[in-house]
Structure 1
Amino acid sequence: MVFEVWDGLPVLVGSRADRKAGWFGTRTKLFVHAAAVPSVDAELLARFTAHALAHAKSLRGGIPGARNVVTALPALISTDVHPSAVRFAARDAQMLDTSVVGRPVVVQVGPGVRRTTLYRGQVPWGGLFTRHVLRKADLYFP
């Protein structure tokens, strides 16, 4: 894991790569970008997601394509989460070309509150990894 700075905010970035014979020689590289912010709305989450996708793409290894997919989980954590951010995270995955998939995550925390929102549906590219990525998201953002 490494720390970066994005828009003046410290961001924790972690990654893992998984290759499984059961996936017919396919490989997925999963990046998590997480930052705590005072408040989050859809516009901030969209900008952070675009940054995470571009960063993940710049660090990817291997040949891009249906059998080598990068997934990013850009997560903003806050006590003040605007409903627009929740809708943005839940509505659909974000794509950067055909081999970088982003599932924005918004985590609302506070006294007696912890709610995590992200898109849990299928995607047109990288769909073979959906169950795996969602299992990891559940571990990282319980």
Structure 2
Amino acid sequence: MSAESAWVRAAAERLRGAGYRDTSLHVPEATALRRADFRVSWFLTRLHTFVLLVTPGPLDVRRAAELVAEGVGAAKRAKGGLPLGFQTGLAALTVVVVDEATDDLRAWFALRPAKMFGAFPLALLVETSTGRVTTYTGDVYWGSAYQSFLAEQQHLVTGDAGSAALGGAGGGRGQAITTVYAVVFVLAILMAFAMLVLLLVR
């Protein structure tokens, strides 16, 4: 077994232990897993998280971009349930595992993820020869409610809470803004509930 295959197997076991289940996304060279979570702090939305662990053949920036696009597209087709945007979100984390990467590849994986309606594409590069992990580490403002959760999933995949992850170098501003919005959202719900109770008891 190659080092890349062994890394993927270990990562998949960690994910299964955290509640992920295997799924088939029909993406070549990929082991795919998924889970769904609902939280009030996400403005009462359910997030479907897909992780694709890929051990590609020859890899360049163009192929890396294709893998991420394939992963997001396959996750959208497999999600099921309500349409994206109707209290439903989707995150597709494509983890590309190689022996060693070029500087061009590392630079591409460190770019800010593309904006997509109702979907959050993330790309993570793992080099088994050195253990180096490369991904976007800044804050995000679209889908920022999910930022800390998605960073946790990246750490779960790598098995290292100190590895590069979303928001690691962004200062937490995006998450702080979302926290304020979440508090206001919850207060608004409580006020609406209180008004409803007052109307009913009159």
- Asked whether the two chains share a fold, i.e. TM above 0.5, the reply is yes
Q: Do residues 71 (structure 1) and 91 (structure 2) align?
A: yes
Alpha-carbon distance between aligned partners in 2 of 1:140 and 1:116, rounded to the nearest angstrom? 11
* Unmatched tracts of structure 2, length 5 or more: 1-21, 161-202
For 1:34-58, what per-residue CA distance to the aligned partner results, in whole angstroms no more than 9, with x for missing partners?
A: 1113443211110100100111111
CA RMSD in angstroms, aligned pairs only: 1.9
Alpha-carbon distance between aligned partners in 1 of 2:83 and 2:32, rounded to the nearest angstrom? 22
The percentage of counterpart residues that share the same residue type is: 20
* Unmatched tracts of structure 1, length 5 or more: none
Q: Highest relative contact order (Cα 8 Å, sep 6+), 1 or 2? A: 1
Residues matched between the structures, number: 137
Alpha-carbon distance between aligned partners in 2 of 1:82 and 1:40, rounded to the nearest angstrom? 9
Task: Report if the CA contact (8 A) 2:23-2:34 is conserved.
Answer: no
Higher strand content, 1 or 2 = 1
Alpha-carbon distance between aligned partners in 1 of 2:78 and 2:57, rounded to the nearest angstrom? 28
Q: What is the SS of the residue equivalent to 2:120? A: strand
* Runs ≥4 residues deviating over 6 A: none
Task: Report if the CA contact (8 A) 1:12-1:34 is conserved.
Answer: yes
Task: Report if the CA contact (8 A) 2:25-2:74 is conserved.
Answer: no
Change (3 A) 1:41 1:19: same
Give the aligned partner of residue 132 of structure 1: 149
TM-score when normalising by structure 2: 0.61
Change (3 A) 1:39 1:106: farther
Picking from 44, 47, 52, the partner of 1:28 is 47
TM-score when normalising by structure 1: 0.85
Greater Rg, structure 1 or structure 2? 2
For 1:66-114, what per-residue CA distance to the aligned partner results, in whole angstroms no more than 9, with x for missing partners?
A: 742211111110013121221111111123x31111111110111xx10
Alpha-carbon distance between aligned partners in 2 of 1:127 and 1:23, rounded to the nearest angstrom? 9
Q: Structure 1 residue 62: deviation in Å?
A: 1.9
Alpha-carbon distance between aligned partners in 1 of 2:91 and 2:128, rounded to the nearest angstrom? 24
Q: Structure 1 residue 11: deviation in Å?
A: 0.9
Partner amino acid, structure 2, of 1:55: A
